[in-house]
Amino acid sequence: MSYVFQFSTVWREFDHLLLGAWLTLRLSALAMIFGLAVGIAGAQAKASSSRLLRGLVQGYIEAIRNTPFLVQLLLIYLGLPSLGLRLTPDQAALLAMVVNLGAYATEIVRAGIEAVPKGQIEAGRALGLKPWQIFRFIVLMPALRTVFPALGSQFILVMLASSVVSVISAEELTAVTDTIVARNFRSFEFYFVITGIYLVMSLAFQALFAGIDRALFARWADHA
């Protein structure tokens, strides 16, 4: 007796899958925004004159980049309560993704900042720009433009990593699918379809990033 594919079961549950996809998109988008903020702050901290601050940030980066995301997630959700901080699954999932993305984003943004020619910063000072103006217009925007592709890929990786948060009962596309499959046992049909959905979401984000790149960074195109 061989297996009979039943894709009709997937179409019946498609509204649940769409809900799951929406949860993934929302979680990922929030993680990307906050993760980028952490990355920019971290890159700034790494350029600071305080050895302590640089060391702390480096420690954070090494801890995150050399440990599995799943372990970080379980530590935040199951471990933090022992220290008094109890987060809901959705909060823990978002925090874990932000902390994870922040570490990688720090390194990426730092590389972008270092790529800004020093002459530009000196020119900014010569023109009498304040430090925050120098940072925002001369350093940050060109830096982000330079590393935008790398940031974009890291963002997509974090979105794909979100599929793991079902382990702490946070709901997103994979979790919703696991629950459906636990009832009707149609693993192949469902996981095949959500592979396609993740693919579509990934391509959609890439298109979004390309659009942002064009809209935001056209002003900072190299004229050299």
What residues line the site for other proteins (CB under 8 A)? 1-3, 74, 77-79, 81-82, 86, 89, 166-169, 175, 178-179, 181-183, 185, 187-188, 192
- CA dist., res. 205 & res. 143, Å (int): 21
Neighbouring CB atoms inside 10 A of 51's CB total 8
Which of helix, strand or coil describes residue 172?
coil
Closer residue to other proteins (CB): 189 or 213: 189
| Cα–Cα distance for residue pair 30/15, rounded to 1 Å | 23
Q: How near is the Cβ of 200 to other proteins at its closest, in Å? A: 13
Read off φ and ψ for residue 65, nearest 5 degrees: -75, -15
Nearer to other proteins, 154 or 177 (CB): 177
Q: Which is nearer to other proteins, 109 or 176 (CB)?
A: 176
Q: State the minimum distance, in angstroms, from the CB of residue 28 to other proteins.
A: 20
Shortest CB 218 distance to other proteins, Å: 22
Amino acid at residue number 2: S
Q: Classify the C-alpha dihedral 74-36-156-89 as positive or negative.
A: positive
Minimum CB separation of residue 2 from other proteins in Å reads 4
Choice between 178 and 213, CB closer to other proteins: 178
